[in-house]
Amino acid sequence: MKFSVFASGNGTNLQAIIDAVKTGEIKAELGLVFSDNKKSLALKRAEEAGIKTLCLEYRNYTNKQSFDRDIVIALKEHEIDFVVLAGYMRLLTPYFVEQFPRRIINIHPSLLPSFKGIQGIKDAFTYGVKTTGVTVHFVDEKMDHGPIILQESLKILSNDTLESIEEKIHKIEHRIYPKAVQLFVEGRLRIKGRKVIVLDEPQFF
């Protein structure tokens, strides 16, 4: 299988995925890294790893669907089977999701459905919850909403700061995201309603 990673920023989750592909933890080809930000460090990480890159910036388009349409065209040209969002800061249009049904995965730094949005870590910390964590889920038309693949919790200690929680969250992300991607590659994820069942044997879509 061949997949693409979408990233808008530093690309630390992308780096974890690149490393997992190199070691064979993820048994699939990372065929393209896409960013909507030409200054994204993720693009540099991909280039240094010898991975093809594409950057399209939304400001050059008149609407979201035309932007996503050009991305889809590029993905199909590169024969991409599924998409992994790794710090991609733009909400995908229904059109895009329809092109890759049950083939888009995202990671979010909270225990969904709590603390959706781009500041999940800060929102959880500020709210004062005692437990937060990381969620890997399938993507649908709504923000941070699709069926959950994996979750891992993290206790917030009395001496934790926002910075220390961010560091702990990122360590969890870098560990569980490659695992979730490989479960997809192996065809071991079956969606039943809002639940994702991890199978012992492959179940290909």
Total Cβ atoms within 10 A of residue 153: 10
Both tokens of residue 49?
């790893």
How far CA 105 is from CA of 145, 148, 163, 183, in Å, comes to 11, 10, 26, 11
Q: Is 170 a catalytic residue?
A: no
Pairing of strands 104-108, 131-138: antiparallel
How far apart (Å, rounded) are the C-alpha atoms in residues 30 and 32? 6
78, 108, 137, 145: the catalytic one is 108
Taking CA 86 as the corner, what is the angle to CA 56 and CA 175, rounded to the nearest 5 degrees?
Answer: 155
**To 10 degrees, what angle do helices 162-185 and 120-127 make?**
130
Catalytically annotated residues: 108
